[in-house]
């Protein structure tokens, strides 16, 4: 499964739980490397999340990791903190927003 398909599945689950998205207005960039990778900008706004064009203002947080590590993160085989401590994920921007993104992706 490629990164876009992984994100689309997560977004569908996230949009089923709009209560967890209320009050959040953020843009995040997920940059997946390796096979099936790509750069994706997620926008959380008005209780909805979706992929939008990667343009405009800087996102609140950006994460870079391999597509396979992202799949393992979503499957809860690894934690974002564990990947970060091993140097397998790079974070830019607001660290608290980056870890909020992890909790949103896993919801």
What confidence tens digit (pLDDT) does each residue in 15-32 have?
998 888 888 899 999 999
Domains of the chain are 3-105 (3.30.1050.10)
Distance CA 49, CA 13 (A): 10
What confidence tens digit (pLDDT) does each residue in 69-80 have?
999 998 989 988
Q: Is the pTM of this model over 0.85?
A: yes
Which residues are within 8 A (CB) of 13 and not within 5 positions of it... i.e. 6 or more apart? Answer: 107
What confidence tens digit (pLDDT) does each residue in 60-103 have?
999 999 999 999 998 989 988 899 899 999 999 998 888 888 88
Residue 60 CB-half CA count within 13 A: 15
| pLDDT at position 41 over 90 | yes
């Amino acid at each position: 499964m490629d990164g876009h398909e992984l994100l689309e599945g997560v977004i569908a689950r996230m949009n089923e739980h709009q209560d967890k998205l209320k009050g959040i207005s953020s843009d995040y960039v997920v940059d997946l490397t390796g096979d099936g990778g790509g750069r994706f900008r997620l926008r959380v706004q008005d209780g909805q999340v979706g992929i939008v064009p990667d343009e405009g203002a800087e996102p609140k947080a950006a994460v870079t990791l391999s597509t396979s590590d992202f799949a393992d993160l979503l499957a809860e085989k690894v934690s974002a903190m564990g990947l970060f401590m091993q140097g397998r994920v790079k974070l830019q921007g607001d660290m608290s927003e980056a870890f909020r993104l992890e909790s949103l992706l896993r919801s």
